[in-house]
Amino acid sequence: MSKIYSKFDKIYSNNIAKTVGFYPSFLLLFILAIAFTACRPDEAAQIQTPYSLQVPDGFTSPLIPDDNQLTFERIELGKKLFYDPVLSRDSTISCATCHLPSKAFADNLPISVGIQEREGFRNVPSLANVAWHPYFFREGGSPSLETQALGPIVDEVEMDITVAEAAARLRNDEDYIKMSKIAYDRQPNAYVISRSLAAFQRILVSGNSPYDQYTRGNQNALTTEQIRGKDLFFNQLQCATCHTGFNFTNYNFENTGLYENYEDEGRARLTADPNDIGKFKIPSLRNVALTPPYMHDGSLPSLESVLEHYNSGGSTHANKSLLIQALNLTAQQQSDLISFLESLTDETFINNPEYQ
């Protein structure tokens, strides 16, 4: 905390020192400028320390909304909220209860468990590289990290508290009041909570796995099994038609033939279109080895079982992608593929002190 204030003080007082010391006549101008910019929504950003996101080689720059440009102060506030159970009704559950840093911000339960041990209805996804996701949730119903953030707070089986009540709690806390004031120039409210959580999540970048090191030229980063698996994944099989790009997903919605009858209808819940039944957002495969069990409902316990599923071609379903066909992979090929998926585990990411 004190770090933020000293930064803030320094910038602020530097400005004044300059204007007062060297250009006395500019003092008035300076005051006027403050008075004018005071009504601009993002004025708070001007007295904060901008944060420039380190984008790994091969990644694009993520889109960041104008009213929520990254600053250290916003990220710090979002991080504090992310780990604080104050955002749940009985103060037992934080975002990190389900999104564990050591599990690439996912967990190892089939279905998430929230407040008072209430069972959720889906498997928790990793938050690595969420800054690049064009929409959120497995059916894509939430258009931004800002809007997504309020979902778990109010969800009856997750944190189960109204945002108004959560914000009122924060308004009783000196630290939160100060941090909100600096970060967003307002008292803690829904805007502050949603924006700061989004800001923190945008810096969760994973791009330093052995696979990444290999693509950047370190020939020793992958084992021979992993290199064989990589070739299967990208060249011989259709995996990379869907799990493509630096984040291993094109973000489309696909039915992989997991079931003949989907209890969770996936994308169709949002669109009510029968052609969307069983379609789920293609997940990123980064850090996938850390996040068993798999699929939207956590029904496949291991990477072995996921590969068995793809190898068999899955169940029959009218909406199943034509790319999902029986593969007849040998045991060796399956284990090569698994080794390759394991090479997507990014130790730098899960141990990054900036995130914890």
* Least distance between another protein and beta carbon 194 (Å): 5
**At 320, is the secondary structure helix, strand, or coil?**
strand
Query: Closest CB to ligand HEC among 291 and 345?
Result: 291
Q: What residues form DSSP beta bridges with 300? A: 294
Query: 332 Cβ partners below 8 Å, 6+ apart?
Result: none
**Residue 163 found at the interface with another protein (CB under 8 A):** yes
**Residue 161 found at the interface with ligand HEC (CB under 6 A):** no
**Residue 146 found at the interface with another protein (CB under 8 A):** yes
**Residue 189 found at the interface with another protein (CB under 8 A):** yes
Q: Residue 53 to residues 83, 147, 232: CA-CA distances in angstroms?
A: 21, 21, 33
The DSSP result for 286-346, as a single string, is TTGGGS-SBSTT--B-SHHHHHHHHHHT----TTB-TT-------HHHHHHHHHHHHTT--
The token duo for 274 is 């029968």
* Least distance between ligand HEC and beta carbon 323 (Å): 4
d(C-alpha 252, C-alpha 351), whole Å? 30
d(C-alpha 275, C-alpha 277), whole Å? 6
Q: Which amino acid type is present at position 53?
A: L
DSSP classification of residue 205: -
**Residue 194 found at the interface with another protein (CB under 8 A):** yes
Interface characters, 263-302, with another protein (x: CB under 8 A): -x----xx-x------------------------------
Query: What is the 3-state secondary structure of 221-264?
Result: CCCHHHHHHHHHHHHHCCHHHHCCCCCCCCCCEEECCCCCCCCC
- Select the binding partner of residue 243 from ligand HEC, another protein, none (C-beta < 5 to 8 A, by kind): ligand HEC
**Residue 162 found at the interface with another protein (CB under 8 A):** yes
With CB under 6 A as the contact rule, the residue among 71, 76, 79, 125 that binds ligand HEC is 125
Query: Closest CB to ligand HEC among 4 and 282?
Result: 282
* Least distance between ligand HEC and beta carbon 282 (Å): 4
Per CB under 6 A, the segment of 19-27, 30-38, 49-57, 279-287 that binds ligand HEC is: 279-287
d(C-alpha 170, C-alpha 176), whole Å? 6
Positions touching ligand HEC (CB under 6 A) are 87, 93, 95, 97-99, 112, 114, 120, 122, 124-125, 127, 130, 133, 136-138, 145, 148-149, 152-153, 158-159, 197, 201, 237-239, 241-243, 254, 256, 258, 280, 282-283, 285, 288, 291, 294-296, 303, 306, 310, 321, 323-324, 337, 341
